[in-house]
C-alpha cells in the first residue's frame, strides 16, 4: 500500500520552527552494563525462549522473552532473579491500550503518590527489532521517556508494559499507516530544521520570505528523501494480527518489544478493565506478588 503524504510543506516548516527548543530538560541515566547484564537462564522453552511467570493480586500470567533482544532479555531475567518486581504495582492502566508496571517507587506507595519515574538507576540501549516484533495484543515492551528528552529511545531499566489495544478494520489500518508516515516525515523535518534555527530566525527578522520559502522546499525535499530510505508500511503479518486480535499499531517501531504473553491473557484483560483514577492508577492496588523463571 503506497502512502500519499498530505500537504505539509510551508505549514509543516512553520510548525517545525515554532517547536524548536520546546523539549524538556531532563537528564537520562546511562546503563551500567556490568551491573545490568545477566546470563541467560538455562531453562528455556522448546523454541529456545525463556519464560517468566508473574503471580499478581489478580491472578497469574506468563511471558516469553525474545532472544533477538538480548540486552532486554538478560536485564529482565536479572531483575526477576533479584526479586526486583516483588510488591511492585501496576501503576498505569489504560483500557484498550496497555497496562504498565515496574516502578520500584510504587512499593507501598500512598494513594496520592505520583508514580512512573522510578527505576533501577540505568537505561537500556534500544533493541527495536521491527517489523519482526510489533505491538500486537499481548506484546511485552519496555517503557521509556519521550523522544524530546530521549532521542536514542533508550528503554527504562525496569518499567515495562503489556499491550491490550483494540482491533482495527483494514480501512482503519490504511488511514493509520498514512498518518504514521506523515508523522515520521514531520519528525525527520524537525530534526533537519533544529540545527538551522539561528539562520531561520535571522531570515525571519529580516523579512526574507523568499529565502525562507526556498529553504523550506529544500529541507522538505531532504526529509522526503530520508523518509524514503525506510518508509513505513504495515506488513501482512501486522495487518492480520491487528484485524484479528488487536493491538496498538501507532507505537510500532518506536519502542522495544522484547517478549509476549503466552498464558494468562485473561488476567491482563482483568487488570486492564480495573477502575482507575485521573492518573490512570487503579483505584485498588494491583501488585506483582512474585516473578519467577519457569523451570
Q: In the chain, which residues fall in CATH 2.40.100.10?
A: 33-167+245-293
Question: Alpha carbon of 152 to those of 29, 126, 127, 139, 155: distances in Å?
Answer: 12, 7, 11, 21, 9
CA pair distance 230, 250, nearest whole angstrom? 16
Question: Alpha carbon of 256 to those of 38, 116, 201, 259: distances in Å?
Answer: 18, 18, 37, 9
Q: How confident is the model at residue 44 (pLDDT cuts 50, 70, 90)?
A: low
CB distance 283 to 275 below 8 Å: yes
CB distance 240 to 136 below 8 Å: no
3-state secondary structure of 175: helix
CA pair distance 273, 97, nearest whole angstrom? 11
- Our separate counts of H helices and E strands in the chain read 8, 10
CB distance 253 to 130 below 8 Å: yes
- What does the pLDDT look like over 165-190, one tens digit per residue? 999 999 999 999 999 899 889 989 99
- 83 pLDDT above the threshold of 50: yes
Q: Please tell me the chain's helix, strand, coil percentages from 3-state DSSP, rounded to the nearest 5.
A: 35, 20, 45
CB distance 91 to 129 below 8 Å: no
Supply the pLDDT for residue 282: 98
Supply the pLDDT for residue 45: 59
Fold of 33-167+245-293: Cyclophilin (2.40.100)
Q: How confident is the model at residue 249 (pLDDT cuts 50, 70, 90)?
A: very high
Amino acid at each position: 500500500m503506497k502512502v500519499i503524504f498530505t500537504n505539509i510543506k510551508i505549514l509543516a516548516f512553520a510548525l517545525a520552527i515554532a517547536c524548536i527548543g520546546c523539549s524538556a530538560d531532563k537528564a537520562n541515566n546511562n546503563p551500567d552494563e556490568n551491573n545490568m547484564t545477566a546470563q541467560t537462564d538455562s531453562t528455556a522453552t522448546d523454541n529456545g525462549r525463556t519464560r517468566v511467570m508473574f503471580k499478581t493480586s489478580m491472578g497469574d500470567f506468563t511471558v516469553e522473552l525474545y532472544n533477538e533482544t538480548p540486552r532486554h532479555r538478560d536485564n529482565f531475567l536479572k531483575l526477576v532473579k533479584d526479586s526486583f518486581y516483588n510488591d511492585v504495582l501496576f501503576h498505569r492502566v489504560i483500557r484498550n491500550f496497555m497496562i504498565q508496571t515496574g516502578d520500584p517507587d510504587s512499593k507501598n506507595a500512598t494513594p496520592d503518590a505520583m508514580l512512573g519515574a522510578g527505576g533501577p538507576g540505568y537505561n537500556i540501549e534500544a533493541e527495536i527489532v521491527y517489523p519482526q516484533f510489533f505491538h500486537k495484543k499481548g506484546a511485552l515492551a519496555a517503557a521509556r521517556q519521550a523522544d524530546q528528552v530521549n532521542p536514542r529511545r533508550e528503554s527504562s531499566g525496569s518499567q515495562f508494559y503489556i499491550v491490550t489495544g483494540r482491533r482495527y478494520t483494514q480501512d482503519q489500518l490504511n488511514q493509520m499507516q498514512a498518518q504514521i508516515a506523515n508523522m515520521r516525515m514531520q519528525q525527520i523535518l524537525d530534526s533537519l530544521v533544529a540545527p538551522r534555527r539561528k539562520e531561520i530566525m535571522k531570515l525571519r527578522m529580516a523579512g526574507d520570505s523568499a529565502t525562507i520559502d526556498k529553504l523550506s522546499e529544500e529541507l522538505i525535499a531532504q526529509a522526503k528523501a530520508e523518509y524514503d530510505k525506510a518508509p513505513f508500511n504495515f506488513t501482512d503479518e501486522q495487518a492480520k494480527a491487528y484485524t484479528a486480535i488487536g493491538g496498538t499499531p501507532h507505537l510500532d517501531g518506536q519502542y522495544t518489544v522484547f517478549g509476549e504473553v503466552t498464558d494468562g491473557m485473561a488476567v491482563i484483560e482483568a487488570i486492564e478493565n480495573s477502575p482507575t483514577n485521573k492518573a490512570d492508577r487503579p483505584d485498588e492496588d494491583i501488585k506483582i506478588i512474585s516473578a519467577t523463571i519457569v523451570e
